[in-house]
Structure 1
Amino acid sequence: MPEFGSLESQEVRSYWEHEADDFTPWLAAEIRAEPASKLEEALELDLAVLEEEKSVGRYNVDIFAEVVDDNRKVIIENQLGSSDHDHLGKSIAYASGVDADIIVWIAPRFYDEHRDAMQWLNENSREGVDLFAIRLEVWRIGDSEPAVRLNPVAEPSEWKEKAQRPQNELSDTETLREEYWTTFRNRIEEENSVLSARKPFPDYYYNNPIGKAGVELQFTIKATENELGVALVIRDDAELYQHLVGDREAIDSQFGQEVVWEEPEETRAGKARSKITVTKHAEVQDEARWDEYTEWMLQAGEQFHHVFYDRLQVY
């Protein structure tokens, strides 16, 4: 019979003595590193750190970041003790000072009144402002290496967010996209995939990290063209694209369909972007076939991860 050890909760100050000097630099480094950090997995968002200890009035916000996909502004407030009114007030003040879209408050223990306050703000703030209370946990099993867990205890409700929208705010196409990406996100979670579950939005694309900064997997819906796509998108790195082109024959042979290579082109933002893409004809409006379509996307995305992940790490 197998023998199992017991999970033992650790005091977080045994690993980070000081919030600003120890924990904040560690968390910022985790967000900057590849693959996705535990915080990004908890939020289901890909983040980019803009500034640590950013000055906001008389105080400094621990981490000022943005969402990679849509540039929403994020403030992250850390503490290594139990939640308190001071940090709750600072989080709101910082968000106001930088016009943030997302507030993330991290602490090892949350009192009920602070967790409830965050949830109340989620339910009563305008759509587009999201608040997260994240419990910082460190665990060990016997003499094992410590493991960090970031556990959301208060977060936005997708159902309430959608219910509070003004009628007809989204077009029929946007509604279809959001529902499709929700189905795809749920499938990623159910299949325990190497892909990362991300919050669905009504955009034509659904992005995923692949372990290298400036590179991402991009899933797309082109409803008017009846086409689904999966692509490796490379931003501002023509040398990396040419490096992969040098291995094009081997890469193409690993896919069971045509692979389209798009040379770097300048975007409207003045940045170069190149893509490596596979596509599938799909009647996306036919919801009865979404299981088939999400299965194809899942398999194609995992194939891209298998083909490119190691190649991206050595360049």
Structure 2
Amino acid sequence: MGKLEMVDARQVWPHEAHDFTPWLLANAGTLGDVLGMDLELSAAEHAVGTFALDLIGVDQATGELVIVENQLAPTDHTHLGQLLTYAGGTDAVNVVWIATRFREEHRAALDWLNTRTDEATRFFGVEVGVVRIATSPPAPLLRLVAQPNDWGKSVRAKAQAEGGSSKGQEYQRFWTQMLAELSGRQLDWTRSGKGLVQNWLALPSGTTGITYRCSFGRAGLCSEIFFESPEPAVNDARFAAAEAKRETIEGTYGGPLRFDPLIGKKGCRIADYRAGQIGLTEDWQEYVEWFIACQTRLRTAMTNVFGSLSPMGR
């Protein structure tokens, strides 16, 4: 067996801004795996006032903003100050600090921030290294050294809230059950493993501004593909491209779909529905099966027609 050896990170990424930050931008999934997020990074050197944040993006599973401050060196006070400045300037939910080594004082500072801030603010510390075996290509090694105590935060939030939502807790249990089914069936639709208290579950499509979703609403259960680019013209073009292929999409899907332009709204959708409500816990497994079956058919139909969702319109 070969021996695992550490490699100087500067041999792989000679320059932090010119090499390491672009690598992170192109390999968001690697960082997302460590953080447990469906991470999509959309910009490098994002302006925050007169300063420039290394990376900004979103957790596609929750829609929450993620900012990243990275350095190819041990942590220092300067970068801690920058991290807090950027967090305040962007109002980020998830704040990520990456360094080659975390000094104990700085790791403790992130732990303190996670303890003192509310449940909607999370700080992560990630150590980055490079390894290889003999003459193999170098491989990145990312290790989570600081993370939020979500359990502690949720307990505090529940204790402080008046009349906590039992329905929210039901949604959380249901989505956790469904995510476990996706993992057990090796359906690589999301990296998330923990359900949230909202009535919907977002599943990334691999294309910015397009998301697959499962949700509960007034009409019952909804399985959909949702066009949600911040540019309305992009959504309109993508929806029109799909509507022009409606007969083929529905033929592959195996039934009718509702094409809803959602005039005046922030996006538009193609969806299928069935009766159901979150309170009928005895039907949850049936709901899970329906969501998985419909999402599988919808993904197959869209892929067969377009190959990739990227060419649908920009």
What's the TM-score once normalised by structure 1's chain length? 0.79
Q: What is the letter of the counterpart of residue 10 of structure 1?
A: V
- Measured in 2, the distance between the counterparts of 1:107 and 1:242 equals 45
The answer for the alignment partner of 1:241 in structure 2 is: 239
Contact 2:38 2:204 (8 Å CA) reproduced: no
1:214-293 to 2 correspondence within 5 Å?
Answer: 214-222=209-217, 224-225=218-219, 227-235=220-228, 236-256=234-254, 258-268=255-265, 271=266, 273-293=267-287
SS in structure 1 at match of 2:279? coil
Q: Are positions 1:300 and 2:299 aligned together?
A: no
The answer for the alignment partner of 2:231 in structure 1 is: none
Deviation, 1:78, is 0.2
The alignment's C-alpha RMSD in Å is 3.1
In structure 2, relative to structure 1, the CA distance for the partners of 1:98 and 1:213 (3 Å cut) is closer
In structure 2, relative to structure 1, the CA distance for the partners of 1:95 and 1:281 (3 Å cut) is same
The match for 2:24 among 23, 27, 32 is 27
Deviation, 1:217, is 0.5
Deviation, 1:245, is 3.3
Q: Are positions 1:161 and 2:156 aligned together?
A: no
Deviations 1:34-79 (A, max 9, x none): xxx323344314445356153456x543224455677654331101
The answer for the alignment partner of 1:108 in structure 2 is: 100
Stretches of structure 2 that go unaligned for 5 or more consecutive residues are 229-233
Q: What is the letter of the counterpart of residue 19 of structure 1?
A: E
- Measured in 2, the distance between the counterparts of 1:39 and 1:27 equals 7
Deviation, 1:12, is 2.1
SS in structure 2 at match of 1:193? coil
Deviations 1:180-226 (A, max 9, x none): 2233334334443221133543222211211112211011112x54x
Q: What is the letter of the counterpart of residue 266 of structure 1?
A: I
In structure 2, relative to structure 1, the CA distance for the partners of 1:285 and 1:74 (3 Å cut) is same
The answer for the alignment partner of 1:204 in structure 2 is: 199
The answer for the alignment partner of 1:183 in structure 2 is: 177
SS in structure 1 at match of 2:191? coil
In structure 2, relative to structure 1, the CA distance for the partners of 1:75 and 1:239 (3 Å cut) is closer
**Percent identity between the two aligned chains:** 27
The answer for the alignment partner of 2:32 in structure 1 is: 40
Contact 2:111 2:146 (8 Å CA) reproduced: yes
The answer for the alignment partner of 1:122 in structure 2 is: 114
SS in structure 2 at match of 1:82? coil
In structure 2, relative to structure 1, the CA distance for the partners of 1:290 and 1:247 (3 Å cut) is same
Deviation, 1:131, is 0.7
- Measured in 2, the distance between the counterparts of 1:249 and 1:303 equals 15
1:1-12 to 2 correspondence within 5 Å?
Answer: 8-12=5-9
Deviation, 1:249, is 3.4
What's the TM-score once normalised by structure 2's chain length? 0.79
Q: What is the letter of the counterpart of residue 261 of structure 2?
A: P
In structure 2, relative to structure 1, the CA distance for the partners of 1:21 and 1:163 (3 Å cut) is same
SS in structure 2 at match of 1:195? coil
The match for 2:188 among 194, 197, 202 is 194
Contact 1:194 1:302 (8 Å CA) reproduced: no
In structure 2, relative to structure 1, the CA distance for the partners of 1:79 and 1:119 (3 Å cut) is same
In structure 2, relative to structure 1, the CA distance for the partners of 1:60 and 1:213 (3 Å cut) is closer
Q: What is the letter of the counterpart of residue 45 of structure 2?
A: E
- Measured in 2, the distance between the counterparts of 1:259 and 1:138 equals 50
- Measured in 2, the distance between the counterparts of 1:138 and 1:191 equals 32
- Measured in 1, the distance between the counterparts of 2:272 and 2:41 equals 27
